[in-house]
Amino acid sequence: MVTCFVLTAVCAATGAYAGDLTWVFSSVFGIAVLIMPYRLTKDRSVGFASEILLPLPFVLVSFIVLTLATGGRMGLFEDLWPVSIALQAWALMIYGYAALIVVNNHRGSLISKRWMLLFSMLVANTLMSLYVFYIFAEMIRLGIPVYDDYTVVSDSALHNWYLMAQMTITLFFTIAYGFVLRRRLRSIPKQTLVSYHKEA
């Protein structure tokens, strides 16, 4: 848990370095979710089940290493940006699943495993859809044509891709991650997944 917390904070800094503030927004969401067990139980030794958080360090370290190794080519509109998006979608799904565990445990709601998986996919897609406003603002700041009056038909496909890349890649990758997660968590009882685990 502490590892995930630290790595999430480092990802926020790395995202800012690469010029992609969506990683900062996602990391803030991630940190808010990760500290929920501490805040709600007042017990600093508890955390989410390892079955949920297992891929997260891999995802976050991959983003950090790739960003630093490629000198910022993982940033907005750069050539390795799709890789960054795919990693962020995965991280958001994990954060979303953890958030739903908190909802199940503390918010007067009950959510079954299948719906937790589906809603975690929806969380990732919703957040990426909200980032479209930030990406649009960045396109204006960089002078990329965004309005009908200034868009040449032949270039409009590229400009639409700049705006739609985040959502398109997230949609397909969350579906793929969903299949993987469903297979991995199928045999694990819900009670094991939603229970907070004491850390050594």
Partner 1 sequence: MSRFTVQTTICLSASAVLMVMTELSATHTSRLNYEIATGIFCAVFCLVPILLNRLRIMTVPATLVLISIVSVFFHAYGVLLMRYDLVRTWDIFTHTTSSVVVSLCAFYALLCIDRFDKGMRTSPLMMHVYIILITMTFSVVWEVFELLADNIWSIHMQYSPWDTVKDFGCDALGALIIVAYAGLFYRYRDPDELIEDLDLHPGLVRYLEAHSDAGQDA
**The tokens of 20 are what?**
């992609």
Nearest-10 crossing angle of helices 113-141, 81-106: 140
From residue 79 to residue 118, the character string flagging contacts with partner 1 as x (rule: CB under 8 A) and all else as - is ------------------------x---xxxxxxxxx---
Q: How far is the CB of 7 from partner 1 (least distance, A)?
A: 26
State in angstroms the smallest separation of the CB of 161 from partner 1.
8
Inter-axis angle of helices 81-106 and 153-185, nearest 10: 50
Interface with partner 1 (CB under 8 A), residue from 151, 178, 195, 197: 151
167 makes contact with partner 1 (CB under 8 A) = yes
C-beta separation of 66 from 81 below 8 A: no
Question: Any idea what the Cα angle at residue 161 is, between residues 83 and 86, rounded to 5°?
Answer: 20
Burial class for 62, CB neighbours closer than 10 Å (0-12, 13-18, 19+)? middle
Task: Look up tokens 């490629």; give the residue.
Answer: 70
Closer residue to partner 1 in complex, CB, 44/107? 107
- Shortest distance (Å) from residue 115 CB to partner 1: 6
Smallest gap from Cβ 45 to partner 1, in A, equals 26
Rounded Cα gap, residues 146 and 139, in angstroms: 7
Instruction: Rank residues 40 and 167 by Cβ distance to partner 1 and give the closer one.
Output: 167
Q: Which residues bind partner 1 (CB under 8 A)?
A: 103, 107-115, 119, 121-123, 125-126, 128-130, 132-133, 136, 139, 145-148, 151, 153, 156-157, 159-164, 167-168, 170-171, 189-191
